[in-house]
Amino acid sequence: MSVDGLWIGQVAMAALMNVAFAFAVGSALLGAWLAKHAQAKVSPARPAWLRAQRSMLTATVVLVLADLGWLLYQTASMSAVSLPNAFSMIPTVLARTHVGYAWCVAFVGALVLLLTALSRPTGTLRNAFLWLAVIAIAGGKASLGHAVDGGSMSAAIGVHILHVLATAVWGGLVLASGLAVLPALGTSTARGMLIRTAMQISNVSIVAVLFVLLTGAFNGVRGSGGSLSAIELSTWGHVLMLKLALVALALVLGGLNRFSALPRLRRTASTMDAHTYTNLLYLEALAMLGVFVAAAALSHTAPAFAALG
C-alpha cells in the first residue's frame, strides 16, 4: 500500500460514500417513524419530519457524487495513470473488471435511492424501491472490499453485506438524528414526540449493534488470518484498532443515553434532560463519523494476513 494522493482521494471518497449512505438510511427510518404524526401542518413532529426528508435528499445527492468521484480515483489507481487521464479508462474498468460490475450495482442503487428521495414521501411502492435500493447499495459496496477475495458468492460477501446494512442502520440513525432531525424536536410541545422517537432509535440501534459486532468480529478474524501478531505488526491492524476504539467510544456514549439520559428524560420530560440526551447523541454522531472514515481507510489497506504474507 502506498499512501499517495490517489490513495487519500480513494479513502476520502469512500468515507463520504459511507457517511452519505448511512445518513440516507437513518433519515429514511426517521422519516417513516415521524410520518403519521406529521401530516397536520401544526404538528410538533412536522419540522423534524421535513428535516428527515431534506437530509435524505441531500445525503443521496452526495452519495451519487461520491460514487462518481471514487470511481475516478479507483480507475486512476488501477490503471496507473494520472487523474485527468483516468477519464478515458473508466469505460474499460466498468466493462471488464469486477470492481466495475460491483460499482455499477451500487451506483444504480444510489440513483434509485435518489429518485425515491425526490418522490412523494409515502406509499408502499416507493418504500419497496427504497429498501431494494439500500440492499443493492450494500451489496455493491460489500463487493468492492476485501470480502470479495473469497469469491463473489462466498459467505464472506454475505456476512459483509449484513455488516454494511447493520452499520448503516446504527450509524445512520445516530448521524441523522443527532446532526439533523432531533434538534427540531427541542421545544417543550414536541417533548412527547422526542421521547417516543428516542425510544425507537434506541431499540432499533441495539439490534443493529449486535449484528455490527458479530459480523465485525467475523471480518476481523478473516482479515487478520486469526493471528494477533498480524494485527500488531500490520498497518491494517493499526487502522482496525483505531476503528475499534472509535466504535467503543460510540458504544459508551450510546450506553449513557440508553441507560441514563433516556430513562431520566422519560421520567421528567424536562428541558435539561432533553438537552442531555441530544448532546450525548451529537457526540456519538461525531464518533460515528470517525468510525466511517476509519472503515474507509481499512477497506483500502491490504489485510493483515496478506500484508505479512
Does the pLDDT of residue 3 top 80, yes or no? no
Question: According to the model, what pLDDT value does residue 152 have?
Answer: 65
Does the pLDDT of residue 307 top 60, yes or no? no
Does the pLDDT of residue 143 top 80, yes or no? yes
Question: According to the model, what pLDDT value does residue 228 have?
Answer: 82
Q: What is the domain-level CATH number for residue 84?
A: 1.20.1630
Question: According to the model, what pLDDT value does residue 110 have?
Answer: 98
Q: How confident is the model at residue 294 (pLDDT cuts 50, 70, 90)?
A: very high
Report the C-alpha gap between 83 and 73 in whole angstroms.
7
Does the pLDDT of residue 49 top 60, yes or no? yes
Question: According to the model, what pLDDT value does residue 229 have?
Answer: 81
> Mean pLDDT, the chain, as a whole number?
92
Which residue in the block uniquely carries the three cell numbers 417513524? 33
Cell numbers representing residue 102 in the block: 460491483
Mean pLDDT of 134-158: 84
Question: According to the model, what pLDDT value does residue 154 have?
Answer: 77
Cell numbers representing residue 74 in the block: 479507483
Q: How far is CA 57 from CA 12, 49, 231, in A?
A: 21, 13, 39
Report the C-alpha gap between 10 and 296 in whole angstroms.
8
Identify each DSSP E strand in 88-138 by its residue range: none
User: What tens digit of pLDDT does each residue of 258-275 get?
Assistant: 999 999 999 999 999 999
Cell numbers representing residue 213 in the block: 459486532
Does the pLDDT of residue 309 top 60, yes or no? no
Q: Which domain holds residue 185?
A: 5-307
**Domain count for the chain:** 1
Question: According to the model, what pLDDT value does residue 151 have?
Answer: 63
Question: According to the model, what pLDDT value does residue 120 have?
Answer: 83
Give the least confident one: 28-32, 221-225, 266-270, 304-308.
Answer: 304-308
Mean pLDDT of 165-186: 96
Mean pLDDT of 199-227: 92
Q: How confident is the model at residue 101 (pLDDT cuts 50, 70, 90)?
A: very high
Report the C-alpha gap between 184 and 269 in whole angstroms.
16
How many angstroms from the chain centroid is the CA of residue 5? 24
User: What tens digit of pLDDT does each residue of 244-255 get?
Assistant: 999 999 999 999
Question: According to the model, what pLDDT value does residue 13 have?
Answer: 97
Helix 124-143 and helix 5-35: axis angle, to 10°? 160
Under 8 Å between Cβ of 22 and 163: no
User: What tens digit of pLDDT does each residue of 103-130 get?
Assistant: 999 999 999 999 999 998 778 899 999 9
Under 8 Å between Cβ of 67 and 107: yes
Question: According to the model, what pLDDT value does residue 193 have?
Answer: 95
Of the candidates 154, 176, 201, which has an alpha carbon nearest to the alpha carbon of residue 49?
176
Angle at 296 between CA 293 and CA 299, to 5 degrees: 150
Q: How confident is the model at residue 2 (pLDDT cuts 50, 70, 90)?
A: low
Write down the pTM of the prediction: 0.95
Does the pLDDT of residue 308 top 70, yes or no? no
Give the least confident one: 1-5, 56-60, 295-299.
Answer: 1-5
Question: According to the model, what pLDDT value does residue 149 have?
Answer: 66
Q: How confident is the model at residue 223 (pLDDT cuts 50, 70, 90)?
A: confident
Helix residue ranges per DSSP H, 177-270: 191-224, 228-233, 235-256, 262-268
Question: According to the model, what pLDDT value does residue 230 have?
Answer: 78
Long-range contacts of 156-164 (CB under 8 A, 24+ apart): 156/218, 156/219, 156/222, 159/215, 159/218, 159/219, 160/215, 160/219, 161/135, 162/211, 162/215, 163/211, 163/212, 163/215, 163/216, 163/218, 163/219, 164/138
